[in-house]
Amino acid sequence: MEFVNSAGFARQLDEQDELKIFSDEFLKPQHNGKEMIYLCGNSLGLQPKAVQLKLTRQLANWQNLGVEGWFQGDEPWLAYHQLLKPTLAGIMGAKPAEVTVMNSLTVNLHLLLVSFYKPKGKRYKILMEGGAFPSDQYAVESQVKFHGYNYKDAVIEVMPREGEHTLRTEDIVAQIEQHADELALVMFSGINYYTGQFFDLQAITAAAHQAGAYAGFDLAHAAGNVPLQLNAWGADFAAWCSYKYMNSGPGGISGIFVHEKHHANQEFDRFAGWWGYRNDTRFKMAPGFVPEVGAEGWQVSTSPILLMAAHKAALDIFERTGGVAALRQKAIRLTAYLEFLINDINQQAGEELFKIITPKNPDERGSQLSIICKQNGKQFFDALVKNGVLGDWREPNVIRLSPVPLYNSFTDVYAAARFLAEAVHQVQF
């Protein structure tokens, strides 16, 4: 499609957008009495209006039923997580038994690493992307240390080539092959938080398995953002948070995936708790841990119902859109339009003031552009904020803008780029 840099063109795209009705289901932060242009869904997704209702309902159940709420009421808490699984499985490309919700993301990474990082003899290394999200680095660092190794030796980070910002799949695969007999695990993010690169998880999984290693993924920036097929790709495990593209609230409950091929194995090492115990006999309170079959066997603690209720409200919206696949076409177009507008600013300026480091290929990115400002980045970011455009800022010079198809419009994207273009004349060089 040929894009045009004009408000009228953006409006026209909005008029043709069948998904625009969903924007009304979200509460928009305000700036100077007007709705903010919120392009920060990669960090914290907006609040669905239905969240308050869902929470109020569970507060009422708590009020009216007390502890009986676990077994009574319209949505008994004991099985509440089951209500989330069908939609979540759809979003992750998984079977319902392969997913569940529990804890927070980094905690879940640790729990899954307990099961899937099993260093033995020469095979003790973890291969991951260079520049992974800090929490993932710390988790892996402490895990290898826990097993008696040190990070520098036990963790292999795949780095971009000289002069490049993102990784080539062929380089990732080559490194996996090169270290094949030392690898215990390949762990990647689905989408790198900094560059916005969407990795080829299928190719990475295949290469890891070829090397005799497990393949696990942190899907924080991928969940609810890009189509995933965890079951078909054969990934061993994954975890994600629900507060980014899944709009389930700050510190919202995390999700995990464990592939069905591992479900029959009751001998998996894991850090257990009673909420992972076989459902049918859990309340016999017998000694000796027996895991529930499937991802639920990794659960540890009592369900946080209020977090789950917020998650349910947010997942219901995905259910009504027809899942992530139905959002994808708009997502691709929205991001491409932003890319076009930013490149147009460079064109007008006669120099590359804003360098987009996120891959150009729509198959290698989601709803995010990471933009390196040639100079005065923070001033540009502040100029956007002053005009009610909220993206996010990463030191030393990167602005990340995330147009989310569920609640952002083409007019949002146009206005954000317009303010950026105006700032070019205002920022002091």
Ligand X SMILES: *Cc1c(COP(=O)(O)O)cnc(C)c1O
Q: CB nearer to ligand X: give 10 or 238.
A: 238
DSSP code, position 350: T
Q: CB nearer to ligand X: give 25 or 136.
A: 136
Q: CB nearer to ligand X: give 106 or 408.
A: 106
Task: Quote the least distance from Cβ 357 to ligand X, whole Å.
Answer: 17
Task: Quote the least distance from Cβ 195 to ligand X, whole Å.
Answer: 12
Cα 77 versus chain centre, distance: 26
Q: At what angle do helices 305-321 and 80-92 cross, to 10 degrees?
A: 40
State the Cα–Cα distance between residues 313 and 316, nearest whole angstrom. 5
Q: CB nearer to ligand X: give 43 or 343.
A: 43
Task: Quote the least distance from Cβ 239 to ligand X, whole Å.
Answer: 9
State the Cα–Cα distance between residues 122 and 268, nearest whole angstrom. 21
Q: CB nearer to ligand X: give 104 or 408.
A: 104
Radius of gyration of the chain (CA): 22
Q: CB nearer to ligand X: give 106 or 358.
A: 106
Q: Which tokens in the block code for residue 11?
A: 């409006």
Output the DSSP codes for 63-132.
HHHGGGGGT-SSS-GGGHHHHHHHHHHHHHT--GGGEEE-S-HHHHHHHHHHHH---BTTB-EEEEETT-
Task: Quote the least distance from Cβ 241 to ligand X, whole Å.
Answer: 4
Tell me the three state secondary structure of residue 268. Answer: coil
Task: Quote the least distance from Cβ 95 to ligand X, whole Å.
Answer: 24
Residue 406: how many CB atoms within 10 A of its CB? Answer: 25
Cβ 123 vs Cβ 184: under 8 Å: yes
- Provide CB contacts within 8 A for 284, sequence distance 6+: none
DSSP code, position 254: P
Q: CB nearer to ligand X: give 289 or 393.
A: 393
Q: Residue 26 forms beta bridges with which residues?
A: 48
My answer on whether omega of the bond before 396 falls inside 30° of 0, hence cis, is: yes
Among residues 136, 254, 135, the alpha carbon closest in space to that of 127 is found at: 136
Task: Quote the least distance from Cβ 146 to ligand X, whole Å.
Answer: 18
Q: CB nearer to ligand X: give 245 or 275.
A: 245
Among residues 229, 254, 259, the alpha carbon closest in space to that of 243 is found at: 254
Task: Quote the least distance from Cβ 74 to ligand X, whole Å.
Answer: 30
Task: Quote the least distance from Cβ 395 to ligand X, whole Å.
Answer: 17
Cβ 74 vs Cβ 53: under 8 Å: no
Task: Quote the least distance from Cβ 140 to ligand X, whole Å.
Answer: 11
State the Cα–Cα distance between residues 44 and 402, nearest whole angstrom. 11
Q: CB nearer to ligand X: give 25 or 218.
A: 218
Q: Give me the residues that bind ligand X (CB under 6 A), please.
A: 104-106, 133, 135-136, 189, 193, 218, 220-221, 241
Task: Quote the least distance from Cβ 193 to ligand X, whole Å.
Answer: 4
Q: CB nearer to ligand X: give 133 or 407.
A: 133
Burial level of 349, CB count in 10 A (0-12/13-18/19+)? middle
